[in-house]
Amino acid sequence: MAKPVSIEVWNPNGKYRVVSTKPMPGTRWINLLTQQDCRVEICTLKKTILSVEDIIALIGDKCDGVIGQLTEDWGETLFSALSKAGGTAFSNMAVGYNNVDVNAANKYGVAVGNTPGVLTETTAELAASLSVSAARRIVEADEFMRAGLYDGWLPHLFVGNLLKGQTVGVIGAGRIGSAYARMMIEGFKMNLIYYDLYQATRLEKFVTAYGQFLKANGEQSVTWKRASSMDEVLQEADVISLHPILDKTTYHLINKERLSKMKKEAILVNCSRGPVVDEAALVEHLKENPMFRVGLDVFEEEPYMKPGLADMKNAIVVPHIASASKWTREGMATLAALNVLGKIKGYPVWSDPNRVDLFLNENSPPPAASPSIVNAKTLSLPVSKL
């Protein structure tokens, strides 16, 4: 029998029982649930990653919906337990749902929510931050200062790369990739080369217009190029940021062979999914090419890093914080809560999960809809006409 798990309870007499496997930023998500007659139970167990057994104990005998995290293994066992407890809704507090067996959810009639539309700029900002930090060796310099090693200015001390006039490469020019590209182009006057299966027309128009603006003001223009292959981006770009989805075709997209195609002083940034990069091959490449630098927010086997990566001075590593701005994380919590609430209350599914401003406006009630249900079509859920 599963051990009881410590919880914090809001609106104890609520009709619907909703469980959150973690405390989440802000209180709006709690208020939105309690105002709709939900009893909200938040797990307060001091444990970074809950086990399946922990979550089964949280679900208990009666549970209408669960808000979970991408570190949890939502498969057959958990969806079966949720269904037995009368639950029909689950939402990740994340855009990705690689941790969720959607087929198992379908089997038990459980709606699976995620939280797109709120992470674009925040994630792009971190990718840009890692790019600049790597180019100017900021983390190395910071450690040097803190160690008391600085005894005066030197001409060669922490010389890095100038970004202006260089080429930024984007692999995957969707919402986040395009937002990152705009930041690097407008912020540092970089040229663009990108690879995507689909043409990024809006991004191309932006670069063209910005180039014309620069030229009209007597400055060097910027250019764009849509590459015919990913290898073309790797060979030509000075800074490369990865923004693909993770599936069988993108697993180890960056491997030993492709790393060898990159410039010796290139910078590689990954804020997408860890397994897109062959981390062991990357460690070897960093060892062999000390002027090659990398900025990583995600890892192949989180929360662990491959042996040797932490020792690399030419690597910047941060703990999956791309979405960690206050506005974004509170927005993610709100969207996840509304996904669960919408299914419980029988609301339709929002027609465009990437346009969620109405759900995030704190000055008005959110639409009566679930913002994003990934298996809505399979479960034949109605779509909002709002």
Whether the Cβ atoms of residue 183 and residue 207 lie closer than 8 Å to each other: no
Q: How many CB atoms lie within 10 A of CB 275?
A: 18
**List of residues 6+ apart from 113 with CB closer than 8 A:** 89, 90, 91, 92, 335, 336, 339, 340, 343, 370, 371, 372, 373, 374
Whether the Cβ atoms of residue 186 and residue 203 lie closer than 8 Å to each other: no
Output phi, psi for 310, to 5 deg.
Answer: -65, -20
The dihedral over CA atoms of 128, 130, 136, 141, expressed in degrees to the nearest 10, equals 150
- To the query of whether residue 252 is one of the catalytic residues in this protein, the response is no
Whether the Cβ atoms of residue 181 and residue 160 lie closer than 8 Å to each other: no
Distance CA 267, CA 84 (A): 50
- To the query of whether residue 320 is one of the catalytic residues in this protein, the response is yes
Give residue 79's Cα distance to chain centre.
Answer: 24
Distance CA 259, CA 231 (A): 10
**List of residues 6+ apart from 174 with CB closer than 8 A:** 196, 243
Cα distances from 286 to residues 174, 237, 309, in angstroms, run 28, 18, 9
Out of 28, 175, 252, 320, pick the active-site residue.
320
- Which has the closest alpha carbon to 202: 230, 220, 224? 224
Out of 17, 39, 258, 273, pick the active-site residue.
273
Distance CA 125, CA 312 (A): 24
- Which has the closest alpha carbon to 130: 33, 240, 288? 240
For the residues of 139-160, what is the DSSP string, one character each? HHHHHHHHTT---S--TTTT--
* DSSP letter (8 states) at residue 244: -
Q: SS3 of 267, please?
A: strand
The residues annotated with a catalytic role in the active site are 273, 302, 320
